Structure 1
Amino acid sequence: MKILTVIGARPQFIKAAAVSKVLRSKYNEILIHTGQHYDENMSKVFFDELKIPIPDYNLTVGSGGHGVQTGNMLIKLEDIFVKEKPDLVLVYGDTNSTLAGALCASKLLIPVAHIEAGLRSFNMNMPEEQNRILTDHISTLLFTPTTSAVKNLYNEGIKNNIYNVGDVMYDAVKHFTNISKENSSIIDKLDLLKKKFILTTIHRAENTNNISNLKNIIEALNETSKTIVLPLHPRTKKYIESYNLVLNNNIKVIEPVGYLDMLNLEMNSEKIVTDSGGVQKEAYFMAKPCITLRNETEWVETVEAGWNIIVGTNKDKISKAIAEFSPSGIQKNIFGDGNASTEILNKISECSFN
């Protein structure tokens, strides 16, 4: 069987590191990098660190509006799909790369497998929500990370070929945590005290592209007495400069980091403040209190478990959570046992696409 995998963004690189290794033990996998994330700190470093196979194709689409970016991907993907004639196309998550890969395959009547299916924020203003819903409804195999994701699919009338395999990011965290401990020296490089800093990531357009939202977040970070470590996403950096926002000395701004350094920062932080879906999960895996800079989350289980609090971009709520938020419940095993990649391989092996 020939499986064609489409990836293009940081979270997908991490998931592919876990899944590709397992898939290639049995099948021929062709890897396509769309180039959605192309900065070296957001792309190449992940392939190097995580030993992800070199992509067979790199579309180098770069940045751009949603229509331009997705359209360019579709044009280039179609030529590759026709040439390679895969038995199955595999996509991850909720990016423009996800939608382009699924849509192109569906139009060519090639079966689609969606890893991380069924997630819902119930906010259709989010491009990610549109991407994940559309992808789910044209997928042949739906691999969900949680039971609530299964329920979401059932509520939308999708009831066949759904497999709750657990979260492949948990596979990656389990595998790479010890490697990070041995190979990452970022805590010493930044002269940080363990469990005495707040790790913060900000990258979503709803926060970066809105001067009021970004200003509230930065002011809340400025006003805390705690050390803030902020790996600065290129888009966030652009808008901070554009809005003339000032960061106080308690905020230690660094370049975007690779996965091993990020894991090390997460495991040694006191708390995590983020608008990233993936980082919310990693916070849970690391048993760290998470403060989410959004009005909703697709990872509702982490909130229900008491380890994640939704504060939006309200400055007072952010400040209070940084100072006071503490998990209220005992962690539960809600993301599987760390063997999702093997479960995915087994389910694919059981299916016939001929």
Structure 2
Amino acid sequence: MSLSEVLTANNKTLSTLNSLLATQPALVSALSSAQGITILAPSNDAFSKILSTSTGTALQNDPSLLTAVLQYHVLNGTVPSTAFTTTAQFIPTLLTNTSYSNVTGGQVVMGILSGKSVEVFSGLKEKSTVTTADIMFTGGVVHVIDTVLTVPPSVAVSAVDSSLTALAGALTQTNLVTTVDALKDVTVFAPSNNAFQAIGSATGSLTTDQLSSILEYHVIAGTVGYSSLLTSGLANESLPTVFGGEEVRVESTGRKVFVNSAQVVIADVIVANGVMHVIDNVLNPSNTTASPVPTATQQAVAFAGVSSASNVPFTSGISATTTAPSASTMTAAAFGGMPSGAVGMAALFGAGAAVVVGF
């Protein structure tokens, strides 16, 4: 059947999607003639969660925004349910609009097989589960999903929504928000609040230039290092950072991944311009040889002579605004695994950030 025939035949489940597509004739025409695509189609129940909200109303009144969101639900390539495995795959979508994505080849979703279910993760680690798989049409395949995808927000917004308020505050204090958000194809190693608190005695005496150097040492530009790459192609490699090309070293030992002496504790927070991994230590550009002890339960801080502070630094005026899954704690043993649980409406829409939306 054609795409139009498939959508009509499944109108009982997909009538809301059909109604939204009816306002997008150019996109429908492109999809109808496309070959080798996969459409992740939110069910009526998925839409009902948000369309009654003020944000949902705004979305319906913004055709360009709706186009971008719909494009994010279309994968490049025919991906049947049997193609998903217990190894995470990062699949490009049709979302290439630079107002929403700055990733070469199109923004991605992460797909993985969990038990017998196919799960798809989008911005802020929002999880969507395939409820009806492998509805074939002439141009590819449709999978019905139970939750709309979240278009990944910027690094700065993702930091706030992931409860990385110290990082968000430090980026704000150094005026690096715009700079980092504007980079293309990035990997950001994002220290947790506990990581910043562990060097708290030193943070108050850092100059703006010193703090900027530290933050820049956590950003790789030009390489999007999803977890599948960190454990294979980039494992045991050194990567240049935006801090003058100074390198960090990635090491993979089984299901643990380290960056210098910091351990990745939450992987694959997809952001507008790449990916962000939460780490348990702040990296030190003056201590580039810091290395991990894989058997240790807690890695030593990379700054000499520091002590922990009672309060999390850089958080004045910064507060977490969501209960996004990306804020969940995940142990290194679960590297590559996904936290589960409900996500608040604010997380779905990025707490007011214009580019963080679902359908």
Q: Report the TM-score when normalising by structure 1.
A: 0.24
Structure (1/2) with the larger helix percentage: 1
Higher RCO, Cα 8 Å, sep 6+: 2
Larger Rg: 2
Q: Report the TM-score when normalising by structure 2.
A: 0.24
